[in-house]
Structure 1
Amino acid sequence: MAQAVESNIVSYAQIADGARTAAETGDRIEWVKVSLIFLPLATPVSDAKVLTGRQKPLTEIAFIFAEISTRDGFQGIGFGYSKRAGGLGMYAHAKELAPNLIGEDPNDISRIFTKLLWAGASMGRSGMTTQAIAPFDIALWGLKARRAHLPLAKLLGAQRDSVQCYNTSGGYLHTPLDQVLRNVAISRESGIGGIKLKVGQPDLAIDIERVGAARNLLGHDFPLMVDANQQWDRQKATRACRAFENVDLTWIEEPLDAYDFEGHAQLAARFDTAIATGEMLTSAGEHAQLIMAEGSDFIQPDAPRVGGITPFLEIMALGAFKGRKLAPHFAMEIHLHLAAAYPIEPWLEHFEWLGPMFNEQMQLKDGRMHVSDRPGLGYSLSEQAIAWRADFEEFGKHP
């Protein structure tokens, strides 16, 4: 018997000696391209931050795209963005980071994220540092899903094949009320599932009038949200939340400074109307602070802002554990897949601004955005986006 056991041990050792490890057989990143693209907006956009003099109207958005190719012939594309300022800085840091990807196994996404995070850690592990990582991380997740011939939502384990969708872009503060109401009607007729209006006028009565007019037009049951873009202090926010308590809002967004977790928690506990916030936070750690402080009913992470899909999944896990609802900010081309994988019914924010940048269109029907059957993230850069490209740089050898 002892001889038989010894023989088996030898044979297993022989098998192990002839085996190859995952590290030895994995694919490798061979080429990375980083591009800076400026998307012009047809009409300058103003919210409460403009009325208070903190920011200028938004006229363009800077996008940083990463395109990745591997030795085995797989490709991925991802993007980050910045509004008003910071785009050039993000682009510069992304170019600093890009060489760190060459030679890495594209499947090791978490390890690559950590490597890139520490490459720029002297500038911190949030803000521009993480935002410059996002294009690479998102591209790698898209690449992995394409390798599996699956939409990213399916790779992550979709809970649903469509997500209820609301529109923001028709209700900015610079838009006269009669035009806002026309935009609201058009959005509803086009199949949108909810409407969000900007608030934060110096005179709260104007906000009340505009929101009340939209509610009267939409009727009692149609989902309506408002967004103050951080422009109230605690006293003004309390008055506003009280004034809107009987308007049947789905949520009141960013009533306070994004980092006033305690103040948001007080509002969430005091009023029946849900509080939503989180779009301005730039790391999984910051979102953890918000969630653990009971600072909102809806969490609103933004994958390009927090560093990509890898940290976004961490936020999703904690948010679901704590029973928070999800309404990701902007970038619906990415967030549709993530929202589809969230266990609690989420919302998706619809922005038509990015449409000209991609060859593919998204399907909106009966108030919901539907996941397509295209593998990966399901989009590719259009000729228009390439025409808007201001600069690019390549690293490694194109396969």
Structure 2
Amino acid sequence: MSADIRIVAVRTALVSLPLERTLKTSIHEISSVCCLLVTLETNTGLVGEGYSFCFDARRLAAISQFTQTLSPIVVGQDPHNVRRFWADFMRGCNFYGQGGISVLAYNAIDIACWDLIGKLAERPLYQLFGAFRDRVPVYASAGLWLSSSQSELCAEAQGFIQQGFKAMKMRLGSPDWRQDVARVEAVRATIGPDITLMADANQGLNGTKALRLGKALEPFGLEWFEEPVPTWDDDAGAMLVRKLDMAVASGETEYTSQGIRRMARHEAATVFMPDLQRMGGYTEMMNAVRYLGACDLAVSPHIFTEHSLHIVAAAGNATWCEHMPWYAPLFKQKMAIEADGMVSVPDRPGVGFTFDWDNIEQFRISSADLQHQDAQ
């Protein structure tokens, strides 16, 4: 079948997944996640699936339009030719920029190609990438927001432990840095010394403020201090790496392996967090992960948990997979946290998670929805 397979159509759908409550970080206020679902149809009837996301439905529609302009790269082609597709995409989008909306628009196409490749091989993707493990350590990332009170933080932390998590991440960025210290102290006291705790400032600080806060947080045994400064500020990141007695994590808003390589060369982080959609899909994501592995640098992918399981399972330098359940309504299959805080990588072919169209229908965004937003 694989010798004759051809992609015959690129289909897109727009959905908005509401969150239970509005969430706040130092730079975000999030009430829903808007997803672009891409399906590659083939002449055999087999389909590949992928998705991108953002936080604004109208901007999602613009990304979707760009995705449709990229469909000629793959239509009529064998999905195995992913590296050639990537080269064609990068060359064709040189004028528009090889980052930003261009990469977000292409990402889901690349993921869907790899989903097809796995299904054709009847193997899960992590085995095709080269398996290192089949169970992945995950940390809880769906709580401990800046919008939670200190008492809410402690209750949420206890809830994560009850769910089986052995690691969790909280957000920082309070108006007074001493409030952040008090919040970390409260969570650490709640979970004890044996649960791994990460803290994320979401790029909301400058170098001076990040150093002051980081020094104050050192006694609490954090796994890492994430995104203390903007990702483009390599000098500040490198300064924090030198002066803090804890790991500095960053990289989720860098585009392609070139952005990750620049950060690594400037020693702007010690844990790198490439984001699947900003890498442009699995093809370039694995380039970034393998480059970091060759440099003996740690990797912990940014969200996309269902898809990132394969990345962490295929990388010896991967430490954690971020567990974010925002996208669970998209899929028929669900992840399960095991007693030791691990998730088993599915042995189903391809990504191993398929769109649940019956459930998705209620979240679809129509043209009328977008027009209503424009009128407001």
TM-score (norm 2): 0.93
Residue 370 (1) aligns with residue 350 (2): no
Q: Which amino acid aligns with 2:360?
A: A
Matched position secondary structure for 1:31: strand
2:11 is the alignment partner of 1:33 = yes
2:181 corresponds to 1:208: yes
- Which structure has more relative contact order (CA 8 Å, sep 6+)? It is 1
> Could you tell me whether the CA contact under 8 Å between 2:48 and 2:116 is conserved in 1?
yes
SS at match of 1:153: helix
- Aligned with 2:116 (options 143, 148, 167): 143
Could you tell me which residue of structure 2 aligns to residue 82 of structure 1? 54
Per-residue displacement from partner, 1:101-127 (whole Å, max 9, x unpaired)? 211111100111222233332210011
Aligned-partner Cα distance in 1 for 2:344–2:145: 26
Deviation at 1:26, TM superposition (A): 4.8
Identify which of 370, 375, 379 aligns with 2:353: 379
CA displacement 1:189-232 (0-9 Å, x = unmatched): 11112111100111011101110011111111210000001111
CA contact (8 A) 1:117 1:133 kept: no
Q: What aligned pairs does 1:232-251 form with structure 2 within 5 A after superposition?
A: 232-251=205-224
Give 2:281's match in structure 1, choosing from 287, 308, 323: 308
Query: Which letter maps to 2:154?
Result: L
Secondary structure of residue in 2 paired with 1:77 = strand
Q: 2:244 aligns with which of 271, 274, 278?
A: 271
Identity within the alignment, %: 29
Residue number among 302, 316, 339 corresponding to 1:343 in the alignment: 316
Distance 2:127 2:295 in 1: 24
Report matched runs for 1:98-113 at 5 Å.
98-113=71-86
Q: How do 1:120-199 residues align onto structure 2 when only pairs under 5 Å count?
A: 120-199=93-172
Q: Provide, for residues 116-158 of structure 1, a one-character-per-residue CA deviation record: whole Å limited to 9, x for no partner.
A: 2333322100111011100000000111011111111111111
More deviation, 379-388/278-287: 379-388
**CA apart distance, 1:380:** 1.5
State how far apart, in whole Å, the 1-side matches of 2:145 and 2:15 are: 24
Q: Is the 8 Å Cα contact of residues 131 and 314 (structure 2) preserved in structure 1?
A: yes
Measure, in 2, the Cα distance between the counterparts of 1:69 and 1:99.
Answer: 13
Contact 2:300 2:318 in 1 (8 A): no
1:342 maps to amino acid: A
Shift of 1:69: 2.1
1:103 counterpart SS class: coil
Deviation sequence 1:319-374 (CA, Å, 0-9, x none): 10111111111110110101110112420111122112211001221111110121
1:47 corresponds to which residue? 25
Q: Is 106-115 or 84-93 further displaced after alignment?
A: 84-93
2:331 aligned residue: 358
Q: Matches of 1:131 and 1:116 in 2, distance apart?
A: 12
Which residue identity does 2:346 align to in structure 1? Answer: S
1:59 matches 2:46: no
Output the aligned Cα RMSD. Answer: 1.6
Q: Distance in 1 between matches of 2:282 and 2:76?
A: 21
Measured after TM superposition, the shift of residue 391 of structure 1 is 5.0
Give me the whole-angstrom Cα distance separating, in 1, the residues matched to 2:56 and 2:166. 29
Decide whether the 8 Å contact of 1:80 with 1:305 is kept in 2.
no
Contact 1:172 1:198 in 2 (8 A): yes
- 1:225 is aligned to 198
Question: How much has 1:316 moved relative to structure 2?
Answer: 0.5
Q: Which amino acid aligns with 1:356?
A: P
- Contact 2:169–2:197 (CA<8 Å) still a contact in 1? yes
Bigger shift: 127-136 or 350-359? 350-359
Unaligned stretches of 5+ residues in structure 1 = 1-22, 51-56, 393-399
Letter in 2 for 1:37: V
TM-score when scaled to structure 1? 0.88
Where does structure 1 differ by over 3 angstroms across 4 or more consecutive aligned residues?
Answer: none
